[in-house]
A and B are shown apart, each in its own frame.
Chain A
Amino acid sequence: MSLPSYGKLADNRPRWLQQLATFIRLVKRDKGGAFGMLIVILLIFCAVFANHITPYDPSLQNLREGKTPPAWFPKGSGKVTPSWAHPLGTDPLGRDLLTRIIYGSRVSLTVGVFGVLLACSLGLIIGMIGGYLGGRVDDIIVNVINIMLGIPYLLLVVVIATVLGRSLINVILIFGITDAPVFVRVTRSVVLRARECGYVEAAVSIGAQNWRILFEQILPNLVGPIITLGTLEMSNLIFAEAGLGFLGLSVPPSVPSWGNMLNAAREYILSYPWMAMWPGFSIMITAVGMNLMGDWLRDIMDPRQRRARR
């Protein structure tokens, strides 16, 4: 039997180059997503190089320059005249707010990244076991997850935080565990759907072992949804960490974090509003950036939606 052979297609560049080109095209097409990604990249840059780009030590006190307003504020509104030495002003102890904001991104990002990593690994393992094995194991997992989701989130977090005490590790642990149910649900649903796919049956028929089917056939389906969910959840965790900090239950007060700064600024909010403004603004812009990027990732990960979005 002879069949016509088709000519080679025009695009003969290596696959990774093609993928890069597609990626750049997708970034160009979606301004919101690109903006979100820019914010996230900036945030990562700030967190990583905080000690190189900030002029002061974040805990350096200078009482004489305390409560300095931001540099562009009119003169004479306080005891200290605003100057570009402290662009965003200082707190009551005279610590530079810009420096503290930049250092604060470290806590936020650490909690966000490691919290999501922990939640995601827990969710993946439990969700894959439940979805693939089914039966009684699955029933138990689903019910435990439903109970966990039924408990008011912040209340649970506050209780655990109070019991465990204030430290970065504890915060990550708390968020990693309380956020896992969302990942379990998404993983389980994807696995349930993939398990019924023809190629899974085909894998069984060629004699693939369970672990092979799980990791080689089913796991790739999870990459898209999990990356998207991870990005969105990261912004949620950063939000939640700030909330916990505001309640005084996150990292110790000596550590500069956005939540702690908000907490400290609360009593000055009428007389020195900028102290609360900057951390609040940082939290907002981070959340916006991550959500934009998450939305965009969700769309490009699903080829069917890729075309619809302009």
Chain B
Amino acid sequence: MSNENNKTLIEVQDLKVHFYLKASGFFNRKRQAVKAVDGVTFDVRENETFGLVGESGCGKSTTGRGILQLIRPTAGSVRFENIELTKLGKEAIRCMRPKMQMIFQDSYDSLNPRHPIGRIISDPLVIHGIARRGSAELKERVSELMNMVCLNPGYVNRFPHEFSGGQRQRIGVARALALNPKFIVCDESISALDVSIQAQIVNLLQELQEQFGLSYLFIAHDLNMVRFISNRVAVMYIGKIMEMADRQTLFKSPLHPYTKSLISAAPTPNPKFERNRQRIILSGEVPSATNPPKGCVFNTRCPIAFERCSQEIPEYREVAPQHFVACHAV
């Protein structure tokens, strides 16, 4: 699909998204911050699928939203084709939107139940003044898009609730494709679907990638699916990237203890391997992002943690070409 020589499309550097909690008391005005994303660095190349995995609440989705400026980052930089997005004003961002789109997790929630799907798919084109509502070229483009995602164009006047989950997700894909974007964030786009439908959507995404040279930021918690679709993968834990490498390296020879435990937790379909699978079981709960542990955020649950881990934040460094790890033990 892609190779390492591809040009960088998106460069994320030390991205931070913090949410400030409303003060609980009337007089106690000390603000607490939830550090949802706390210094994340990676890049997405052209025509590449970049997988982002991690537990619930580790900041995967927030990272995706921070890149698209749906949530304005607290700090750090996001460069899209060498344009610094975090510095752009509202209107400038709006003009950039056609190039970067998003496919949402909950297709039921992300499609307005009161609008027929023809309107949902054509909205991006109307908003950016590419075609007028009701014009013949708009209708043509909508049926083209519907064909692209294997929906019967005769269904334009149906409403979202008249479709199945997989069909609705494909409506979301069609909407994201309407403006010919270069980059799409797939935010758990297949997590809520049946396995057979997941395969259908993933295949569709890959076909579209080949056809249009798209880049994906593929956010998921299903490791097998990420392994299948991604070129490179990053593993997140409480707002930080623990390890990033290309697919083969990360799944075959993970270095970070958290990555190892994640991979060991994913079931394999082959019973022979499954029987011999060594589980690394983590104890305890994920610490809160309001009050992350000192030192390495993973030290409270890490099976190999030593004294230094609870004091010093491990540097996120390149241990092998294109293999980044943040761990003292590596």
A: residues with CB less than 8 A from B are 1-3, 5-6, 8, 15, 197-199, 201-209, 212, 217, 220-221
11 contacts between A and B (CB under 8 A): A199-B109, A199-B112, A202-B102, A202-B172, A203-B123, A206-B127, A206-B179, A207-B98, A207-B128, A208-B127, A217-B112
The residues of B that contact A1 with a CB separation of less than 8 Å are 150, 200, 203-204, 207
Chain B count of residues within 8 A CB distance of the other chain = 32
A240 to B95, CA, bound (A): 52
Q: Given known contacts A206-B175, A207-B124, is B111 in contact with A5 (CB within 8 Å)?
A: no
Collect the chain A residues with CB atoms within 8 Å of residue B98's CB.
207
Q: Tell me if B102 and A207 are in contact (CB < 8 A).
A: no
Residues of A within 8 A of B68 (CB): 205
B135 at the interface (CB under 8 A from A): no
A147–B204 Cα distance when bound, in Å, is 56
Contacts of B70 in A (CB 8 A): 201, 204-205
Q: Which residue in chain A gives the minimum CB-CB distance to B185?
A: A205
What residues of chain B lie closer than 8 Å to A8, measured between beta carbons? 154
A204 to B150, CA, bound (A): 26
Listed in ascending order, the chain B residues whose CB lies under 8 Å from chain A are 68, 70, 94-95, 97-98, 101-102, 104, 106, 109-114, 123-124, 127-128, 150, 152, 154, 157, 172, 175, 178-179, 200, 203-204, 207
Residues of chain B contacted by A199 (CB below 8 angstroms): 109-113
The smallest beta-carbon distance between B226 and chain A, in angstroms, is 21
B111 touches A202 (CB 8 A): yes
Chain B contacts of A217 at CB under 8 A? 112
Whether the pair B114, A221 counts as a contact (CB closer than 8 A) is yes
CB atoms of A206 and B157 under 8 A apart: no
Q: Which 7 A-B pairs have the closest CB atoms?
A: A198-B109, A207-B97, A198-B110, A199-B112, A206-B124, A202-B110, A220-B114
CB <8 Å contact, A205 and B111: no
On whether the beta carbons of B175 and A198 are closer than 8 Å, the reply is no
Measured in the bound complex, the distance between the Cα atoms of B199 and A1 in whole Å is 11
Q: Decide if B104 touches A201 in the complex (CB within 8 Å).
A: yes
Known: A198-B109, A198-B111, A207-B127. 7 other contacts (CB 8 A): A1-B200, A1-B204, A3-B150, A198-B106, A207-B95, A208-B123, A208-B127
Check A201–B110 contact: CB distance below 8 A. Answer: yes
A206 near B123 with CB under 8 A, answer yes
Q: Closest residue of chain A to B160, judged by CB?
A: A199
A220 to B114, CA, bound (A): 7
Q: A1-B203, A198-B104 are in contact. Are A206 and B97 (CB under 8 A)?
A: yes
Complex alpha-carbon distance, A202 and B200, angstroms = 22
B101 to chain A, nearest CB (A): 7
Q: Which residues of B contact A204 (CB under 8 A)?
A: 70
Closest approach, in angstroms, between the C-beta of A218 and any C-beta of chain B? 10
Q: Are A209 and B127 interface neighbours, CB within 8 A? A: yes
Nearest A residue (CB) for B181: A206
- Cα of A204 to Cα of B110 in the assembled complex, Å: 11
Which residues of B sit under 8 angstroms from A202, Cβ to Cβ? 102, 104, 110-111, 172, 175
**Assembly CA distance A209 to B124 (angstroms):** 11
Residue of chain A at shortest CB distance from B178:
A206
Contacts of B112 in A (CB 8 A): 197, 199, 203, 217, 220
How many angstroms from the CA of A209 to the CA of B199 in the assembled complex? Answer: 35
Q: Closest residue to B161 on the A side, CB-wise? A: A303
Q: Are B101 and A205 within 8 A (Cβ)?
A: yes
Residues of A within 8 A of B154 (CB): 8
Among A2, A15, A204, A212: residue with most chain B CB under 10 A: A204
Give A3 to B104 CA distance when docked, in angstroms.
22
| A197 to B109 Cα, complex, angstroms | 6
Give the Cβ gap from B247 to chain A, nearest Cβ, in Å.
Answer: 23
B150 touches A2 (CB 8 A): yes
Which A residues are in CB contact (< 8 Å) with B110?
198-199, 201-202
Q: How far is the CA of A212 from the CA of B95 in the complex (A)?
A: 15
CA distance A201 to B112 in the complex (A): 11
CA of A221 to CA of B114 in the docked complex: distance in angstroms? 8
- In the complex, what's the smallest C-beta–C-beta distance from B186 to chain A, in angstroms? 12
B19 to chain A, nearest CB (A): 14
In the complex, are the beta carbons of B104 and A207 less than 8 A apart? no
Chain B CB within 10 A, most for which of A2, A3, A217: A3
Shortest CB distance B143–A (Å): 14
State the Cβ distance, B9 to closest chain A Cβ, in Å. 18
